[in-house]
Structure 1
Amino acid sequence: MKKALLFFAITMFAALTAQAQQRIISLNGAISEILCALGAESQIVGVDVTSNYPEALKTKAKVGHNRNISAEGVLSLQPTLVITFDNQLNPQLLDQLKAAKVKTVILKQELSVQGTRNLIGELAAAIGATAKAAALQQTFDKQMAAVKTTALHKKVLFIYARGAGAMQVSGTNTSIDKMITLAGATNAMTGFTDFKPLSAEALVAANPDVILMFDSGLGSVGGAEGLQKIPGIAQTNAGKNKKVISMDGELLSGFSIRLPQALQELYNKLK
């Protein structure tokens, strides 16, 4: 019995020591949020530019946008672990990390409530914090159960903008599309997947009741007044009724542990 307890104590000490020595780089905002919630904030030495919550992440070294990250910037931080999603990692970067013998965990993000719940467990396993996963999942479940939504008979058009000259709309199979559906509304653009450039003709044909944007995107076109000047906007129900809403980009699209907050906020703004 004593030997068994001693072995257990040694094993736990080794695991805790290894965890404390980790130098983690997170290449996605949702991953970074969950790592912090699991108590690994002090182990994070670098993040991508979407990792801005919680506030402490803003002090971490930035290694670039998750789709355009150089190995030099990552390796300069001497990471022992790099974590990302499979659809956001540059294959060349992966090869360079393997060559440098840096452990890389590549996860698949499922854009759903259960997907976020699963992600908590997967990240806990990746950093050796499985004991904390159950409690965090329980908190997440309670927060999701507290979200109050009903069916909304509204068509919502999401516009991703980086200025009036660079605007795209969301089709199906995007994080925004999933959020619109979870909030009880309907995506106004259903004839394609992913994103495509905004056209006045398609905009008028879709005739959304609400236009949804990131806060930064709406600001880049001059706010709601500037958006009205975009060809086609004024001819839609959303334009006529000036029904334009915006949210923080990472909160709205991240499917992180703040999903309950994001969903409730989106619903409240849509109704």
Structure 2
Amino acid sequence: MAKFMAVALLILATTSCKKEQQAPEENTTATDTVAKVEKRRIISLNGALTEIISALGHQDQIVAVDVTSTYPEGIKDSAKDLGHVRSISIEALMAEKPELILATSEDLSPELTEKIKLAKVDVRVFDRDYTAEGTKMLIGQVATVLQSEGAQKLQDKIDADLKGVEQLKIQPKVLFIYARGAGTLMVGGKNTPVDKVIELAGGKNAVTDFEDYKPLTPEALIQANPDVILMFDSGIQSLGGEQGVLKIQGIEKTNAGKNKKIIAMDGALLSGFGPRLGEAAATLNGKFKENAK
């Protein structure tokens, strides 16, 4: 369920210790050195990786992406959408004649990784750490693979944006609801990407008794009694707008429902943990301040 939800969140947009910054192990390279990549054909199988590659100035080398890669705008116009990573076949990958494939250990299965190795294509698989330091480390790793000198600028921007997050007098209790219509409502617990962003933005998760995601029930909603409901733009749209959110059973008995405190944000921005992480935290912090009035 946790893996499904992690991917599903990015689809609709689209746990934490400091690691030593180093390039990931070269999982599949035809040689022992990193080749020049000025004209390499790149496949990116993760939305955050696609953002990083693009921000480093290599968007024009991306020939195909996964379904979670929704930013920069227009990426699907210039790169083929291969769909859900778990459904992508080796044949579909090789049809794009890739010279470099970037993915995360959460997304790319060991079986498909091995097939890519056998096809003699350079594939780099990165571990994710949903923290500011982890995100900066990931940017550095990708820059190393691409032989790009732009990592420091992106890392500095994250730090600068995070400095714009103001301490709140009262931490709002925030409940993240993932929706795909009224029939699919999930609540985000601890140690999810959204949970980490809520913390960075100065709020606190209204749910502390479980990790990952569970189906939303009226009883759990009332017990959590959030001050604010946080959702993806796409999730709110799937419910017919804010009025549809307020019709969720149990919402009316919470502080958020009574005061109509609902925050909507782009999913890829909110949960991506890419170059825009600082921007996401600062934006959410601003929305917390607005809702406190």
Give TM-score, length-normalised by structure 2.
0.82
CA RMSD of aligned residues (A): 1.8
Deviation at 1:228, TM superposition (A): 1.8
Distance 1:74 1:16, change over 3 A: closer
Distance 1:55 1:181, change over 3 A: same
Distance 1:152 1:89, change over 3 A: farther
In 2, Cα distance between equivalents of 1:159 and 1:249: 12
Deviation at 1:205, TM superposition (A): 0.7
Mapping 1:20-169, distance limit 5 Å: 20-59=38-77, 60-129=79-148, 131-150=149-168, 152-169=170-187
Q: Among 241, 252, 255, which residue is 2:259 paired with?
A: 241
Deviation at 1:66, TM superposition (A): 3.2
Question: Is the counterpart of residue 182 in structure 1 residue 200 in structure 2?
Answer: yes
Deviations 1:16-54 (A, max 9, x none): 983123111111111111111111111111111221211
Distance 1:17 1:144, change over 3 A: same
SS in 1 for 2:138: helix
Q: Which amino acid aligns with 2:259?
A: N
Show the counterpart of 1:8.
Answer: none
Q: Among 204, 212, 226, which residue is 1:194 paired with?
A: 212
The count of corresponding residues between Structure 1 and Structure 2 is 256
Deviation at 1:140, TM superposition (A): 3.4
In 2, Cα distance between equivalents of 1:135 and 1:235: 46
Q: Percent identity?
A: 49
Q: Which runs of 5+ in 1 are unaligned?
A: 1-14
Show the counterpart of 1:11.
Answer: none
The structure showing larger relative contact order (alpha-carbon pairs under 8 Å, at least 6 residues apart) is: 2
In 2, Cα distance between equivalents of 1:231 and 1:260: 34
In 2, Cα distance between equivalents of 1:202 and 1:262: 27
Deviations 1:38-81 (A, max 9, x none): 11111111111221211241311111123432222222111111
Deviation at 1:137, TM superposition (A): 2.5
Aligned 8 A contact 2:161 2:282 in 1: no
In 2, Cα distance between equivalents of 1:226 and 1:144: 33
Greater displacement, 132-141 / 46-55: 132-141
Deviation at 1:108, TM superposition (A): 1.0
Aligned 8 A contact 2:157 2:278 in 1: no
Structure label with greater radius of gyration: 1
Higher helix share: 1
Q: Which runs of 5+ in 2 are unaligned?
A: 1-32
